[in-house]
Amino acid sequence: MILGGGEDRPTEPIYQFDDNGVLVRKWDTLTEAAEFFNCPIKSFKNSMLYKEKLFGYFWSRMDSISRTEYSQGSPRKPVYKYNKEGKLIKEFDSLTQCSKEEGKKASSLITAI
């Protein structure tokens, strides 16, 4: 059982696919992939759940994917910066833009978000 419900399987394999759905690599564990990319496990889980790219790749628990089921593009999601009082300071078009302009690693921003 997991506090708050949900599913937690960081010790099971995860598969990495290119734009065409071709297997790039099998990672022995989700934890291994997260540590390699210096990214929270939750980001990989969201990528699999929403079938969107993460680090330019598609991710799955299965060793093959149907490319038509996965996002055809790499949708950009806005990132918002607030001050300590909760007032919006700036809106960024994407995590990449925010990372560049703020001089912070994307992985650090993902953790903060």
Any bridge partners for residue 82, and if so which? 88
Alpha helices in 1-113 (DSSP H): 30-37, 41-50, 95-102, 106-112
Q: Would 70 be classed as within a structural domain?
A: no
Identify the residue with better confidence: 74 or 53.
53
At residue 57, the pLDDT reads 92
The average confidence (pLDDT) of the chain is: 84
> Distance of CA 25 to CAs 6, 16, 42, 108, Å?
26, 5, 19, 25
Both 55 and 86 in one domain: the answer is: no
Over residues 70-97, mean pLDDT: 81
User: What DSSP string describes 47-66?
Assistant: HHHHT--BTTBEEESSS---
User: In the numeric block, which tokens belong to residue 34?
Assistant: 């997260």
Tally of domains in the chain = 2
Q: What is the pLDDT of residue 64?
A: 93
Global confidence as pTM: 0.59
Structural domain contains residue 46? yes
73 inside domain: no
Measured between alpha carbons, how far is residue 72 from residues 11, 58, 67 in Å? Answer: 29, 11, 8
Q: What is the pLDDT of residue 67?
A: 85
In a domain, 100, yes or no: yes
Inform me whether the pLDDT recorded for 69 exceeds 90: no
93 and 57 fall within a common domain: no
Same domain? 59 vs 87: no
- In this structure, are 56 and 20 located in the same domain? yes
Same domain, yes or no: 27 and 53:
yes
Cα(113)–Cα(107) distance, integer angstroms: 10
User: Would residue 53 count as lying in a domain?
Assistant: yes
